[in-house]
């Protein structure tokens, strides 16, 4: 019984340690039709919840529905309003100071590799 409690405690601590590594600014480039555009995200972990923001066409957009599960993250961004609103779902894997994200926009899957800003 004590062994199980110890293992559970260690798994929880390891999960929070991984989650804490995502806090801060992350930068990279995304390729839209052969044109590379710089991207920057700011993330903050609170247990299994991920919050933060990015800029889309010079407008700040907050992360919604952010989740952390070990090294895996997911979140969405919604920009625009009313019938013009567009929601983009992201999934990603954190490995050290590198975050590989995938998102789908209008049926086109796109990958981004972000590096943690120093």
CATH code: domain of residue 79: 2.40.128.20
Least confident of 4-13, 17-26, 56-65: 4-13
The domain in which residue 72 lies consists of 2-116
> Looking at the 3D structure of the chain, how many domains does it have?
1
Structure tokens at 59: 């407008």
- In the numeric block, which tokens belong to residue 76? 């969405």
Write down the residue that tokens 């590799």 correspond to. 113
Supply the pTM of this predicted model.
0.78
Burial 8-43 (b: 16+ CB within 10 A, else e): eeeeeeebeebbebbeeebebebeeeeeeeebebbb
* Segment 85-106 mean pLDDT: 93
* 4-8, 30-34, 58-62: range with highest mean pLDDT: 58-62
Q: Rounded to 5 degrees, what are φ and ψ at 4? A: -65, -45
């Amino acid at each position: 019984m004590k062994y199980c409690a110890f293992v559970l405690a260690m798994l929880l601590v390891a999960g929070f340690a991984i989650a804490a590594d995502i806090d801060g600014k992350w930068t990279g480039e995304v390729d839209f039709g052969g044109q590379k555009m710089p991207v920057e995200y700011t993330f903050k972990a609170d247990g299994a919840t991920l919050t933060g923001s990015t800029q889309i066409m010079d407008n700040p957009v907050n992360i919604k529905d952010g989740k952390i599960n070990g090294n895996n993250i997911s979140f969405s961004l919604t920009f625009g309003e009313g019938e013009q609103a567009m929601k983009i779902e992201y999934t990603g894997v954190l490995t050290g100071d590198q975050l590989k994200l995938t998102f789908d926009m209008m049926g086109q899957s796109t990958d981004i590799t972000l590096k943690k800003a120093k």
